[in-house]
Homo-oligomer: A and B are copies of this chain.
Amino acid sequence: MLYHVRMYVRLPPDLDPADRADIIAREMAYSQKLQREGKWPQLWRIAGEYANFSILDVAGHDELHTLLSGLPLFPYMDIEVTPLAAHPSKIAV
């Protein structure tokens, strides 16, 4: 089941640099694990912002919430979720 997710990160500028590096490293590892499992098939940076558009492919709302609320950056994020349905004009690939 596909979800469109917009994640916007607001890290405080005065965060300790080591803490900052640590949280970003953990975020990357967490994201890449989900990508390798096929649960985060699309991930783009929004040009000019500390933000991304993502497509998540999970079993349902509960798994989606578990994955998103487990993001190391979750306490610093504004997140918008949009459920995606099939579009009638989409051609088979």
Which residues of A line the B interface, CB within 8 A? 1-5, 11, 13, 27-28, 31-32, 35-36, 42-50, 52-53, 60-62, 64-65, 68-69, 75-76, 79-91
Contact = CB atoms under 8 A, between A and B. Distances in A.
Contacts of A45: 65, 84-88
Q: Is the interface of A mostly helix, strand, loop or mixed?
A: mixed
Q: Assembly of this chain: how many copies? A: 10
Nearest to A54: B87
Given A35-B90, A83-B83, 17 more contacts: A1-B60, A1-B61, A3-B48, A3-B83, A4-B44, A5-B48, A35-B89, A35-B91, A44-B90, A45-B85, A46-B82, A46-B83, A48-B64, A48-B69, A49-B81, A64-B85, A65-B85
